[in-house]
Structure 1
Amino acid sequence: MLSERVRSYVSLALIVGLVYGGVQLLQGRHKDQQAQALRAAAKPGDIVMLSSQTCPYCERAREWMSEQQVPFKECMIETDAACLAEFQARGGLGTPTMVVRGRTVVGFDPKRVAEILSLPRAAVPG
């Protein structure tokens, strides 16, 4: 009876592991698709990231966009007065603040950035 119980637990653990692995695989593919969409749509000058030197989210966004070869320009609000003025003019809600073809996206949201880049240029203000 004990060995049946052990087999049941092992079977359950195996099923949970397979499901978890499948979910991770699907999420990885989705992230790859997002990166591919951004690479295809982004041109130099389309994305400006208003950053702070002490912002861990900025660091993650910078690393992700660099690794995925998405063209972007970064502007540090502590060292560049024009960058700080832009940040404040856009509400200064937090960093990173992404300026995507003139539209403000607070935080790093690859899906939202890709959505904006997929719009016809005439539909995007700025």
Structure 2
Amino acid sequence: MGKRIFVLLAALAAWQNWERIETFTGLKPAPQVAASNADAPVVLYATTWCGYCAKTRSFLAEQGIRYTEFDIEKSSEGRRAYDALGGKGIPLMTIGDTVIRGYNPEGIKAALR
């Protein structure tokens, strides 16, 4: 009688935790959570006279990437955010939590993957 109860309890426990058992034994792969910046907000800190800022704007437009721009010479909010990011040059971009300094098309593409 004791063996039957043990087997019954073991079967019940297995049934209640079947998804964990499948994942642990490799019968079912664990769900992958992709950390992607594809939908992350893109913010450009720039000036009107900067040539590399213009190249960055052109690149973003060519790629169809939506972004918010702050002119750090005209926007006090933009300047504060730029300074908080340790801004020491332009253009400076944020894509989600990723900071990209200078004109860097490959860095932008990589950050959006």
- Bucket of the pairwise TM-score, normalised by the shorter protein: 0.5 to 0.7
Larger radius of gyration: 2
Which structure dedicates a bigger proportion of its chain to helix? 1
- Which one of the candidate residues 64, 70, 76 is aligned to 2:59? 64
State whether residues 59 and 105 of structure 2, in contact with CA within 8 Å, keep that contact through their aligned partners in structure 1: no
The CA deviation at 1:49 is: 0.6
Equivalenced residue count is 77
C-alpha RMSD over aligned residues:
1.7
- Which one of the candidate residues 94, 98, 109 is aligned to 2:104? 109
Q: 1:1-126, aligned counterparts within 5 Å?
A: 42-43=38-39, 46-118=41-113
Gaps of 5+ in 1: 1-40, 119-126
List structure 1 runs of 4+ shifted beyond 6 angstroms.
none
1:13-72 residue CA offsets vs partner (Å, 9 max, x unmatched): xxxxxxxxxxxxxxxxxxxxxxxxxxxx643x5211101121110011111211221111
State whether residues 94 and 107 of structure 1, in contact with CA within 8 Å, keep that contact through their aligned partners in structure 2: yes
Identity %: 26
